[in-house]
Amino acid sequence: MKINPYYFKIFNYINLYMCIEELRKKIDKIDDKIINLLSERLKYAIDISKYKKQNNIKIKQENREKQIFDRIEKLAEQKNISVFFVKKLYRQIIDETVKAEEDN
């Protein structure tokens, strides 16, 4: 008995769909971790900002930003991720963090 190739095609689509769904679940878990880590990062930054305010230290520290960008650039290169993308992402993270520090 010969099996219709159409059924193989359907079976492959179902398998592919299931694989995609599993991968999407993994991506969702990673997204959850990213959000949790951003929240944790922000809490630490706000704690630091309280110290800065008590000691009359300006919130935005250009030398610290340079350290961060130098470090993440190297890390992005090691992980084969676009340096442009990572710098753009961190620019946004830092800007939002500074704003939160100033507001608290």
73, containing H or E segment: helix 62-78
CATH code, domain carrying 64: 1.20.59.10
> What is the per-residue pLDDT across 1-11, written as a single tens digit (0 to 9) for each?
566 666 566 66
Count of residues making up the chain = 104
User: In total, how many domains does the chain have?
Assistant: 1
Mean pLDDT across the chain, nearest whole number?
90
Q: How far apart are the first and last CA of the chain?
A: 74
Name the amino acid, one letter, at 23.
L
> What is the per-residue pLDDT across 24-34, written as a single tens digit (0 to 9) for each?
899 999 999 99
Range of the domain at 87: 5-103
Q: Find out whether 91 and 60 touch, Cβ atoms under 8 Å.
A: no
> What is the per-residue pLDDT across 48-61, written as a single tens digit (0 to 9) for each?
999 999 999 999 99
Whether the predicted model's global pTM rises above the 0.85 cut: no
